[in-house]
Amino acid sequence: MPPFSTGFKTMQHLRSHNAFVRQVSATAGLGLSCSAIRFSSSSESQAPHLKLPFQRIFAQISKDEDTGARSGAKMVKAKAFKVHKVGGPEVLQWEDVEVGEPGEGQVRIRQTAVGLNFIDIYFREGIYTHPTPFTPGMEAVGVVTAVGPGLTGRQVGDRVAYAGILGAYAEERLVAADRVVPVPSNIDDITAAAALLKAGTAQFLLRRLGKVERGVKILVHAAAGGVGSLLCQWGNALGATVIGVVSTEAKAAQAKEDGAHHVLIQSEGDFAEKVKEITNGEGVDIVYDSVGKDTLQQSLECLRRRGLMVCFGQSSGLPDPIPLGALAKKSLFLTRPSLMDYTSTRDELLECAGEVFTALAAGIIKVRVNQTYQLAQAAQAQKDLKERKTTGSTVLIVDSAEKTTGMA
């Protein structure tokens, strides 16, 4: 295990695959709810490993999530966004839907908050393909309103969250029970909705994909964004030297506040040359690039010998293909990972969520929810996100929970 900086020693025990249950008691001083123990993975089946091409991983995870209700079951009226054809924000249609009783292995969730992510735009635009019509959105928080027949370990009233399951832009929905995690009592719904996918991504990028520790130099693109700000905070806490790249002076100030030791503004010249100056010509160990087309080539130039290039998004568009010969010069490594693959088993999911919620409770990371919209305003929220008008995280608020379930 790499040594951790101050405040991170409380997390050293989390590396086992049953870490989420163990951390509940070990970190009781942080206020995490011990009721989460009933979600332990000891009696639960594991999700199959995902071995599909990246663009199909999400569709496989979400397959039949909202169509598995028991035949003849009572239907609950709700609202949800549907995409009948891919395109701009205008293709998001706010429609009346009916949600049935959960089938075997499912729970029904009345959602309270939905996380906004660039992947929502990728699906809406058709960059990631899925049969239409579909409901976009990949993460949310809510309350369990019904459980499937014979299901144990979940009960009505549980506060739960999920990430990586298509269909989140809805007031109420069905979800596979083994893909939800308990939300600790000291984490509010908005924070949880903003955190699980983004902070989960930061967790596996920093803690599992690459060995980030004291002395490691990392470059973070979109350093003031939802994932970027968390990479800066968590990377700093692990002892790494953090170099952030942003688009404006205002975002540079936020990146510095979030722990970046050096911040570069992309429009102010060749950032690769500036990275070499900062690192005395050596380059960084790891580049985390969620921008894609506009940055990939220069990002490769920022790496030291045997450096790791991590492409985990493409907010500027799909990058041009990289010939293998471009990696040979410095024996570089190139990867395009996904949170969904790194949490494809129940144990992996619980471990990831456990570390995220522990880091939040300990103050090691802070999710900056700088924008909130009503769920019905999702089209505008997506537009603002793509136009880089947002910073940190954005959450869509569901304000019709009582109407959704028909409660008085």
> What is the structure's pLDDT at 321?
82
Q: Which residues contact 163 (CB under 8 A, 6 or more apart)?
A: 115, 138, 139, 196, 197, 200, 339, 343
Of the candidate ranges 46-60, 86-100, 168-182, 354-368, the one whose mean pLDDT is the lowest: 46-60
Q: Could you give the CA distance from residue 55 to residue 208 in angstroms, rounded to a whole number?
A: 22
Measured in degrees and rounded to the nearest 5, phi and psi for residue 366 equal: -130, 125
What is the distance between the alpha carbons of residues 318 and 309, in angstroms, rounded to a whole number?
A: 16
CA distances 23 to 14, 35, 66, 104, 259, Å, are 7, 12, 32, 29, 26
pLDDT at 317: 64
Q: Which amino acid is at 128?
A: Y
pLDDT tens-place string over residues 367-406 = 989 999 999 999 999 999 999 898 888 999 998 544 333 2
Is residue 67 over pLDDT 50?
no
pLDDT, position 50: 28
Taking only the tens place, the pLDDT of each residue in 185-212 is: 999 999 999 999 999 999 999 999 988 9
What confidence score (pLDDT) does residue 61 get? 46
Q: Give the C-alpha separation, 260 to 392, whole Å.
A: 14
pLDDT band (50, 70, 90) for residue 326:
confident
Residue 47 has pLDDT above 50, yes or no: no
Q: Look at the block and give the residue holding tokens 């951790």.
A: 4
**What pLDDT, on a 0 to 100 scale, did the predictor assign at position 320?**
76
Please give the pLDDT value at position 400. Answer: 57
Q: What share of the chain is helix, strand, coil (3-state, %, to 5)?
A: 35, 25, 40
Domains, the chain, with CATH or none: 34-194+369-405 (3.90.180.10), 214-336 (3.40.50.720)
Work out the average pLDDT over 247-276.
91
pTM of the model: 0.77
pLDDT of residue 70: 53
Cβ contacts of 407 within 8 Å, gap of 6 or more: none
